[in-house]
Structure 1
Amino acid sequence: MGLSAGRGPLRARAAGAVEEMDLPGCDPARLDRTYAQFALVNRAVSGWRGIYRALIRPALSPGSPTSLLDIGCGGGDVPVRLARWAARDGLRLEITAIDPDPRAIRFARERNGAAGVTFRQAPASVLVDENRSYDIVMSNHVLHHLETDGLPAFLADSAALCRGLVLHNDLRRSAAAYALFYAGSWVLRGSYIRQDGLTSIRRSYTARELQSVAPPGWTAARRSPFRNLLILDKRADKRADKRSGGRGDNSAAGG
């Protein structure tokens, strides 16, 4: 039976599949090992080093600080690595990382308490209600977790919270991604990563699917290996408005 995204069991998103780590009654010890192993998986395949170099670092300055919000930070390894890269480059980056799950925030604070990242238990909607605003808003491996009817609200919240660049990095569903993860993830024992990782790939979007469900102004870009990067550049709207002498339409969410 084929496994391609165009035929067989990966032909359509498995939107109803459930990841065990998302269940409130999952084993806490296995969940902590999952958060710990995410650091290894993200370092290997998430592609944040390239995203940092191409899109985040050019927006940073050694003088004035740039604010960044990570939505759905999980165990906190990605924002911590971004903070370290910026510090090594002599650039000022102030990071707030949020997650609605108290288990994730507890782990992130205990493991990364001295990393210079502010961890907070909250959904993005709470920060919207507080009228927060950040230069960069991002997420890692969040989009495929969302219910289909929850994606528009998530994107609207992230746009409302951002005055610059929004970057949502996620898996891209494909037969190769599924097969390679199946073959290589057997070493990640004692956690939920193997079974939930395969479920995540089945729940994830192709680039075309993601573009089709994203609101106008968002761009779904394919990245290697097996990634989608959903981008909203609100700076482009500001540049266009300046060129038009301030007569542009600034009615987009969060503008």
Structure 2
Amino acid sequence: MTVTAHRTGLAVRDEQLRELMDDPGCDRRRLDATLRRFGTVNRLVSGWGAVYRDRLRPFLAEHGRPARVLDLGSGGGDLVVRLAGLAARDGLAVEWLGVDPDPRAHAVATARAPTPSITFEQSDAEALVARGERFDAVISNHVLHHLDAAALASFTSLSAQLSSGIVLHSDIERSRTAYALYTVGITPFAPGTFLRTDGLRSIRRSFRRHELGEVLGDRWQVERPVPFRLLASRRADG
């Protein structure tokens, strides 16, 4: 039996919560503002600077050819744009693809300044597997906490099938401290967006480190690259 968050606080992951921006009928202006502002918020709290420096950049630097990187559930595209900029600064030749099945997120992503190395597509992991796509690295940000057990198993399995190198899934780690800090810290960025309500709901839906490790199994390594963040990683089969 699922115990609801109002009874347990943050002791138990609350899979029953739904984020406002996931509602197809939500206010479009607030949604677009939320997706655009994710770029700023993610730079501050997502930990991808450390993940790029310690995990992704060394891997990409091993290639003697342009690498292909896939961002699954790329939302408004801010992570792809940020990582592409870091890789270009480091002289790495990389082709980036961000995919998201939500047409609203895809519209925000494609409105970003285009570059030859970045492509956005309204699609998902299942469609990419069906057409035989393969990438050197597959990543995601803030996807895992949206998924129930069956969807999580499918998503992580498909992401591994799509990678010939590494898979890196980054997400929030549920904790009272993270909840309290986010409540205060998001205030300057929240007006006109869903950032406050949905961010707090995301924390309540998120895993703790041992929980995610138990769900994903032995093939996956779950680390804490920076405070309040989890990184689930694995090497591709073979």
TM-score, normalization by structure 2: 0.93
Residues in 2 aligned to 1:112 and 1:212: alpha-carbon distance in whole angstroms: 40
Distance 1:63 1:204 in 2: 38
Aligned to 2:118: 117
Inter-partner Cα distance in structure 2 for 1:135 and 1:111: 24
1:50-199 → structure 2 map (5 Å cutoff): 50-61=50-61, 63-114=64-115, 116-187=117-188, 188-199=190-201
Find the aligned partners of 2:116 and 2:24 in 1 and give their Cα distance. 28
2:15 is paired with a residue whose SS is coil
1:36 Cα deviation after fit: 1.1
3-state SS of the aligned residue for 1:156? helix
Gaps of 5+ in 2: none
Whether 1:17 aligns to 2:17 is yes
Cα deviations by residue, 1:44-73 (Å, 9 ceiling, x for unpaired): 010111111111111224851011000000
Once the 2 structures are TM-superposed, how far is the Cα of residue 225 of structure 1 from its aligned partner?
2.1
Contact 1:137–1:165 (8 Å) recurs in 2: yes
Aligned to 1:215: 217
2:232 to 230, 233, 236: 230
CA offset digits 1:153-210 (Å, max 9, x no partner) = 0011000000110000000000000000011112221000100000000000000000
Question: Hey, what's the Cα distance between the residues in 1 that align with 2:95 and 2:225?
Answer: 26
Q: Which amino acid aligns with 1:78?
A: L
For 1:86 and 1:134, locate their aligned partners in 2 and report how far apart those are by CA, in whole Å.
16
Q: Which letter does structure 2 place at the counterpart of 1:17?
A: L
1:174 touches 1:226 (CA, 8 Å); kept in 2?
Answer: yes
List per-residue Cα deviations over 1:119-151 (Å, max 9, x = no partner).
000011000001110000000000001122210
Identity %: 47
- Secondary structure, aligned partner of 2:159: helix
Q: How far apart, CA to CA, are the structure 2 residues paired with 1:123 and 1:69?
A: 11
- The structural deviation recorded for 1:222 is 1.6
Whose radius of gyration is greater, 1 or 2? 1
More displaced 10-residue stretch of structure 1: 17-26 or 54-63? 54-63
